Chain A
Amino acid sequence: MATDFLRPAEHELETVDININVGPQHPATHGVFRMVLTVDGELVTDLDPVIGYMHRGNEKLPENCDYRQVIGYHDRTDYLGQFNTEHCYVEAVERLGGLTAPERAEYIRVILAELNRIASHLMFMGAFGTDIGLSGTSFMYAFRDRETIQDFFEEITGERMMYNYFRPGGVAWDVPDDFKERCRQVVAAIKRGLDDLDGLLTKNEVVLARCRGLGPVSREDAINWGITGPMLRATGFQHDIRKAEPYSIYDRFDFDVPVGSHGDVYDRLTVRFEEIRQSVRIVEQALEQMPEGPFMAEGMKRILRVPPGEIYMRVEGPRGEYGIYLVSTGTDRPYRHKVRGASFCNLSALRAMSVGHYVADVITILGSIDIVLCEVDR
């Protein structure tokens, strides 16, 4: 071809940065999240996360609701770990208001919260598989088992997503009579299904090739960035709020805190697998110990007034530390209600983790954070 004369000489060429927008409407961003990537060829040289698309004023609204109405807003922050968020809120109100929930309610809460953690991790496995190109098989396996949990939750609360079931002082109503029996069925289904998923993902050549050694974070960096949950444990740091600062009745159960070793994407995956197994252990023990009795504390008033004071309550959510800073002035409504989303803090480290990697790997790293945008934007 005689196009040589069209080609500019070397000294006329100019190198420019190219910006790529990933999202906000992109399946790989797990919700409405945008990344502005600056790329040099395939290499990401800078990354600017843009969030806020889901901001609904989830901290302002509760200031105008009474203490019971707030529970529903927590389902809508971390919509994959709803029971964990509700757990955090009711614990905060109970500790501030000097209330205690009956034993049975505590066990119900722990069982549901742990099953919810399993459901959330299954969702992660499914989505993560598609992120790295397993084109749906992982979704099928994960959702088959997640569905049994969803059905179980629906039988108890009447809802599939926005449960609104925990209450300060107990739970909204008692569980069905066949609760223990059904729960054992669900646990058996999870155990069976988990082996399928484990076989598909952890020893998969594609997963190994794409995830091992990718996006490692050192322990010191992770702590400094405020990374919590499975991402922190993947760095080899053994910390779990359920063990370190036990809330509710978590000090009664025997379970391990799984850790990784390199802090890379692969470790984040395996840590979550192990966490499912540990949650199953907790559920099984709780089912054994669960007593009969009332599900709601006696003498609860219709309008709850919490004495003046403040508390920062935190629980171990599926994504890490879910915290609530609650300030009360003695009225029937929270004065200030700040939500510390685990994925908000984990996501803030995305830039540090991603720069220097290929575009496709950035998608994998983002997937491994397991963000829930409703919790990030609130």
Chain B
Amino acid sequence: MTGEGSPPAAVAAPPGPLATLFQQALPGAQFEIVQTPLDETIVVQRDDLVRVMETACNHESLRFDFLRCLSGVDYITHMEVAYHLHSYSLQQSVGIKVRCPNDDLHVPTISHIWQAANWHERETHEMFGIVFDGHPDLRPLLTEEGLGYYPLRKSHPLAEIEEWQEDYVEAIARAKVSAQGAAGAAPAVDEKAAKIALAQKKAAAITKARDAARAKGLSPEDEKAAVQAAIKAVDEEEAAAAPAAAAPPPPVDERAAKIALAQKKAALITKTRNEARARGLSPEDERLAVAEALKKLAEEDAAAPPAAPAPAAAPPVQDRAAKIALAQKKAALITKTRNEARARGLSPEDERQVVAEALKKLAEEETGG
């Protein structure tokens, strides 16, 4: 959730040429100027909005005939609707903003002035819960009807993944536990698992509180308050339980253990599969056999946690040198045989045969020696 950050401080700025025009056209209306890098922006009173907008559209020195954009913004302390206007004939742009308190989210519609506002207001209504009084058709536009919450409000979390993907999260948690069990490591206090558990707990609390609130027929605002109270309760509970958690044990070499386990498993799978195929089992039985073998391995591992991984066998330096020598020998033999064959004018097929035979002989010599 991005709740951080305070709303940008309204930078007091001297009225620009457009703001002066607005003030002349609308004596008595209150304006507040906000500095932005591109357009002059004016904050107006909600009660003046329709008057200001009608003047902006029709006044001869303003003539803002094009509503570019209409956006809602949730500043937590209040909501804001920003209108961006452009005048094609006078080539000027202005931003007009109106604020409304959280407990009275009503703004008069301007869709009768610019038809373009119609869909923008519908969208802002469904995303922020701002009601545009007088709008001809405030059905939700992008979301389904009866959603029950307002997605773009800051109080709405980005995605309660746990809420709609419970199975997925559970599967991850289970896989982690079993992996730890299989690796033989003491089930340490896994921070991530704890976080997931907490998130699940919270999500469950949110769902419960929301359902209860809806069952009671509370307003969206009261519902929000109830949900927040539920989240707070969970937090407090966690905070109380926190000291009980033991400090995490010093980390063992988890990675090496994991790799070793994976290698062991892979070897076992290959072995079991080959055996099964040799016995002519059906694919289903083969899979079953593999699964059983893996299960047995997990049980064995859990019963006898492996000691620290034994130091690897003597470094295979000699091995490597021998291999290189052999490869060089082979390469030399191939070149030699091939050249001889070509000198004898053999066909490519025969040439290949001769080379293969020479290699075979070499291999026999090697194993014999």
Contacts and interface: CB of A to CB of B under 8 A. Distances in A.
A226 B115 CA distance: 8
Nearest to A378: B142
Given A52-B142, A310-B36, A325 B82 contact: yes
A310 B41 contact: yes
Contacts of B7: 329, 335
Given A308-B8, A340-B69, A323 B41 contact: no
Contacts of A310: 8, 34, 36, 41, 82, 95
B245 interface: no
A96 B66 CA distance: 24
Nearest to A336: B73
Contact of A335 (B2, B38, B41, B69): B2
A60 B68 contact: no
Tell me what chain A mostly uses at the interface: helix, strand, loop, or mixed: mixed
Interface in B76-132: 82, 84, 88, 91, 93, 95, 114-116, 118-119, 127
A328 B73 CA distance: 11
Nearest to A96: B37
Contacts of B93: 245
A300 to B, nearest CB: 19
B327 interface: no
A309 B73 contact: no
Nearest to B82: A325
B262 to A, nearest CB: 32
Interface stretch (A112-120, A144-152, A156-164, A311-319): A311-319
A239 B151 CA distance: 35
Contact of A64 (B2, B114, B142): B2
A265 B361 CA distance: 80
A377 B84 contact: no
A226 B114 contact: yes
B67 interface: yes
Contacts of A79: none
B114 A224 contact: yes
A226 B36 contact: no
Contacts of A325: 69, 71, 82, 84
Chain B interface size, as a band, is 35 or more
A335 B2 CA distance: 8
A245 B39 CA distance: 11
B58 to A, nearest CB: 13
B45 interface: no
Contacts of A309: 8, 11, 35-37
Nearest to B1: A64
Contacts of A244: 91
Contacts of B11: 309
Contacts of A226: 66-68, 114-116
Q: Which of A61, A314, A338, A348 has the most CB of B within 10 A?
A: A338
A325 B72 CA distance: 10
Given A64-B158, A237-B88, A325-B71, A345 B119 contact: yes
Interface in B176-233: none
A86 interface: no
A96 B35 CA distance: 11
Contact of A312 (B5, B68, B151): B68
A52 B38 CA distance: 31
Contacts of B116: 224-226, 345, 348
A239 B93 CA distance: 14
Contacts of B37: 95-96, 309, 311
A309 B85 CA distance: 19
A110 interface: no
B65 A224 contact: yes
Given A312-B84, A340-B68, 5 more contacts: A59-B127, A310-B8, A314-B68, A336-B73, A340-B69
10 contacts: A60-B152, A63-B158, A239-B88, A245-B91, A245-B93, A323-B69, A331-B5, A335-B7, A348-B115, A348-B118
Interface of A: 51-52, 55, 57, 59-61, 63-64, 95-96, 223-226, 237, 239, 244-245, 308-314, 321, 323, 325, 327-331, 333, 335-336, 338, 340, 344-345, 348-349, 352, 377-378
Closest 8 pairs between A and B when the two form their complex, measured CB to CB:
A226-B116, A329-B5, A52-B142, A338-B71, A308-B8, A340-B69, A348-B119, A55-B142
